[in-house]
Amino acid sequence: MRPPESKREGNGIVSEDSLPAEHLSPLAALVDEVLAGVGYDVATATETVDDAVPGFGGLFDPETTPGELRSALEDLLAAGLSRPPIPERRAIASSSTSTAVPAAIPAPPVRGPSS
């Protein structure tokens, strides 16, 4: 076994062993994989997991067991996940600046002079 690599930082030596590291539970690691699979879009991940968990309350039902959640997460990962599409943006030019707005929001109508 090799000793941990170290590097100089400031006045001391920092080894990889001394850097902070988080250890996730197996269930948390599955949640992290699902989050990564949807591009860390929390709303999409929440909806996806909620839809995959059986029962009326799904993910948010207090009766949902860790086993049901684990099974739903494993099924999602096996089926494959994809990142949600990035909404198209179009630029609306004004006299001094240009602002991008989502394409789904229509521009306000241009009104002529009132008579």
Q: Is pLDDT larger for residue 102 or for residue 62?
A: 62
What pLDDT does residue 1 have? 47
Q: Which two tokens stand for residue 99?
A: 């602002």
Tell me the sheet residues that pair with 6. 15
pLDDT tens-place string over residues 26-60: 999 999 999 999 999 999 999 999 999 988 888 89
pTM for the whole structure: 0.55
* pLDDT value, residue 52: 92
Beta strands in the chain (DSSP E): 6-9, 12-15, 89-93, 98-102
**pLDDT at res. 56:** 83
User: Dihedral sign, CA of 91, 42, 55, 80?
Assistant: positive
Any residues with CB less than 8 A from the CB of 102 and at least 6 apart, and which? 87, 88, 89
**SS3 for 77?**
helix
- 14 pLDDT band, cuts 50/70/90, is low
pLDDT of residue 24: 87
Q: What is the bridge-based pairing of β-strands 89-93 and 98-102? A: antiparallel
Mean pLDDT on 71-89: 86
Q: Where are the domains of the chain?
A: 24-79
Whether 72 has a pLDDT exceeding 90, the answer reads: yes
- Report d(CA 107, CA 78) in Å as an integer: 42
